Amino acid sequence: MNRLIALVFLFFAPMASACPDAPDHSVAVNDLLQRIQDAPNEYQARLISNQLWALWADAPDEAAQAVLDRGMGKRRAFDLIGALEDFDRLIAYCPDYAEGYNQRAFVRFLQQDYDRALIDLDRALALSPTHVAALTGKALTLIGLGRNEEGQAVLRLAVNLNPWLPERNLLQTPKGKEL
């Protein structure tokens, strides 16, 4: 019975109260981005990048964290419908938390729903302008929409923040210019 009550709480708790402000990790994020730019190799940069993910995925409270973690687990298991439901719930509860939008955009990208993914990515970036993963996702989404020039421009912004991104290999030489 206690387990059932706990499950009901985790499912409905985000709807029962107001979401607190998301933790402000901007100073730590900027420090980590500088460390990535100074990294001597891709391996070191990836270790630092993992620390960025820990900050981005730090939800405003336990209820939001539970929904985020559950949605990410469903996404990893390719339960995209279930993941979308969780991310919709997270966004309804915490509309100012960038990672909810970024994760929902990722699911929509996997579903090739690029127009709606782009809306979520723009919202995530409005809330967290240096969110490298959201920038990279936006670049790939724009490319998926056939908006290659815009996608390349956004990808360049992401690579400027993290020159070790695996997606850097997708950068194309601008027409009429040498790299």
Quickly state the pLDDT bin for 9 (edges 50, 70, 90): very low
Quickly state the pLDDT bin for 7 (edges 50, 70, 90): very low
Quickly state the pLDDT bin for 90 (edges 50, 70, 90): very high
CATH top-level class for 2-11+27-170? mainly alpha
Quickly state the pLDDT bin for 121 (edges 50, 70, 90): very high
State the Cα angle at 90 between 89 and 91, rounded to 5°: 90
Q: What is the dihedral of CA 48, 69, 80, 24, to 10 degrees?
A: -60
Average pLDDT over residues 28-54: 96
Give domain limits for the chain.
Answer: 2-11+27-170
Quickly state the pLDDT bin for 174 (edges 50, 70, 90): confident
Burial 158-175 (b: 16+ CB within 10 A, else e): bbebbebbebeeeeeeee
Report residue 4 as tokens: 């059932």
